[in-house]
């Protein structure tokens, strides 16, 4: 019996040495050491031996099965480590690869410019009108009549202004100045407010003109407001927006809703004042209209011009953006070319 055990032991040892993987080892264990394995079937014969034989053969059987268990376990550990390191090597992630780039959206340059202008005026004490006081679809009454624009003024011409065909006298506003009327109808002086928004004009589109663009209207009405206040506020705005070194000039002008009226020109950034296509050779670009609110406008909304006075202004957002960032074609703002938009 001992010889039988020895020969099983030897062939088991040979099988263990020949095993090439963990699953080979599992098979060896099943074949020799499991409940139905070869050792167990031999051990069943122990019961027929004498007590003395039982003790020695039994001890021998236990010793060699324990040895085989150890051999299998050692080899199992070896295979396990080898397989693990192979798997780790295979599944390795290359962390030096670039990640996937998801571009972030940005605020449109005209919105950026509007935000910047609004924040400057907020710091100068102006509030921002709610959108109900500054509608894009207007009546002639607000867009022209109440602003003292004569019935025969050329700006009313259908060639300049978009008239809606849904109802007579309804227009897409050609200027944000109508907001002045809504504001003064709804608020008593002191009034110190701005109203940003989109306006529409029936223009031939070119590098300088689009058939819609953006304006920021401003209105300051209180006791004792003078043209000096107007110049002070607008000069401060220009200094904060363009920096102190940008040449600007006030030029007298005419608007039906202000008296006296002026325009502010800023030196053309494209040619540094030498004269180019963008500034029609003048070296200057007009950025805003302004003036002291006409007494007829104040009377129209029930404000007594003997008690109150005020100034108003309307500036072009596209012009201000073009002059700050040297954009030489207004259409670039509306083409949605990412290469352009990404630069801001
Ligand atoms: N509404 C004028 C325009 O679109 C600009 C303007 C001029 C606005 C004088 C004003 C102003 O408030 O006082 O050309």
Q: Give the domain ranges of the chain.
A: 2-90, 109-341
DSSP string for 208-236: S--SEEEEEEEEEEETT--HHHHHHHHHH
Q: How far is the CA of 177 from the centre of ligand 1 (A)?
A: 6
- Mutation test residue for ligand 1: of 174, 203, 255, the one with most atoms within 8 Å of CB: 255
Tell me which of 161, 175, 318 to substitute to probe ligand 1's pocket, judged by most ligand atoms within 8 Å of the beta carbon.
175
Phi and psi torsions of 194, nearest 5°: -125, 155
Q: How many whole angstroms from 206 Cα to the centroid of ligand 1?
A: 22
Q: Distance, CA 313 to ligand 1 centroid (Å)?
A: 5
How far is it, in rounded angstroms, from Cα 335 to Cα 156? 29
What does the pLDDT read at residue 166?
Answer: 66
Ligand 1 atom nearest to 314, measured from its CA: 8
User: What integer pLDDT is reported at residue 164 of this predicted model?
Assistant: 84
Angle at 225 between CA 130 and CA 198, to 5 degrees: 30
Best residue among 210, 290, 316, 320 to mutate for probing ligand 1's pocket (most ligand atoms within 8 Å of CB) is 290
Instruction: Indicate which residue's Cα is closest to atom 7 of ligand 1.
Output: 289
CATH number for domain 109-341, candidates 3.30.70.1230, 2.40.10.10, 3.30.930.10, 3.90.1150.10: 3.30.930.10
- Alpha-carbon torsion, ordered 187, 193, 198, 199, to 10 deg: 70
CA 34 – CA 6 distance, rounded (Å): 18
User: What was the pLDDT predicted at 158?
Assistant: 74
Of 214, 237, 297, the C-alpha closest to 261 is 297
Asked if residue 71 has a cis previous peptide bond (ω within 30° of 0), the answer is no
CA of 119 to the centre of ligand 1 (A): 20
* Beta carbons within 10 angstroms of residue 124's beta carbon: 16
Sequential pLDDT tens for the chain (344 residues): 788 888 888 998 899 999 898 999 999 889 888 888 887 877 778 888 888 888 888 888 888 889 989 989 999 999 899 889 999 999 988 888 788 888 888 899 999 999 999 999 999 999 999 999 999 999 999 999 999 999 888 888 877 899 987 677 899 999 999 999 999 999 999 999 999 999 999 999 998 899 999 999 999 999 999 999 999 999 999 999 999 888 999 999 999 999 999 999 999 988 999 999 888 899 999 999 999 999 999 999 999 999 999 999 999 999 999 999 999 999 999 999 999 999 98
Instruction: Measure 290 CA to ligand 1 centroid, in angstroms.
Output: 6
In angstroms, what is the span from residue 333 Cα to ligand 1's centroid? 22
**Residue 196, Cβ density class (10 Å: 0-12 exposed, 13-18 middle, ≥19 buried):** buried
Question: Which residues approach ligand 1 with their CB closer than 6 A?
Answer: 175, 177, 217, 255, 258, 261, 289-291, 312-314
């Amino acid at each position: 019996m001992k010889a039988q055990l020895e020969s099983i032991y030897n062939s088991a040892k040979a099988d263990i040495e020949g095993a090439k993987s963990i699953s080979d080892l599992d098979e060896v264990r099943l074949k020799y050491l499991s409940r139905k394995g070869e050792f167990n079937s031999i051990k069943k014969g122990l019961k027929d031996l004498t007590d003395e034989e039982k003790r020695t053969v039994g001890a021998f059987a236990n010793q060699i099965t324990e040895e085989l268990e150890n051999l299998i376990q050692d080899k199992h550990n070896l295979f396990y480590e080898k397989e693990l390191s192979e798997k780790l090597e295979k599944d390795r992630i290359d962390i030096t690869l670039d990640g996937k780039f998801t571009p972030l959206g940005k605020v449109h340059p005209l919105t950026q410019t509007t935000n910047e202008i609004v924040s400057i005026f907020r710091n100068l004490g102006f509030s921002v009108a709610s959108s109900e006081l500054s509608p894009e679809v207007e009546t002639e009454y607000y867009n022209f009549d109440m602003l003292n624009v004569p019935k025969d003024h050329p700006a009313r011409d259908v060639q300049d202004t978009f008239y809606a065909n849904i109802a007579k006298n309804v227009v897409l506003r050609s200027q944000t100045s109508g907001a002045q009327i809504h504001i003064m109808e709804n608020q008593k002086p002191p009034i110190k407010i701005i109203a940003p928004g989109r306006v529409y004009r029936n223009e031939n589109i070119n590098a300088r003109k689009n058939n819609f663009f953006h304006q920021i209207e401003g209105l300051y009405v209180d006791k004792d407001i003078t043209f000096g206040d107007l110049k002070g506020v607008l000069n401060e705005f220009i200094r904060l927006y363009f920096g102190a070194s940008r040449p600007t000039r006030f030029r007298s002008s005419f608007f039906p809703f202000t008296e006296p009226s002026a325009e502010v020109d800023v030196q053309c950034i494209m040619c540094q004042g030498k004269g180019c296509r963008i500034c029609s050779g003048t070296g200057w670009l007009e950025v805003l209209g302004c003036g002291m609110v006409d007494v007829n406008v104040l009377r129209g909304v029930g404000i007594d011009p003997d008690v109150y006075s005020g100034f108003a202004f309307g500036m072009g957002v596209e012009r201000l953006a073009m002059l700050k960032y040297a954009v030489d074609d207004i259409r670039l703002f509306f083409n949605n070319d990412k290469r352009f938009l990404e630069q801001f």
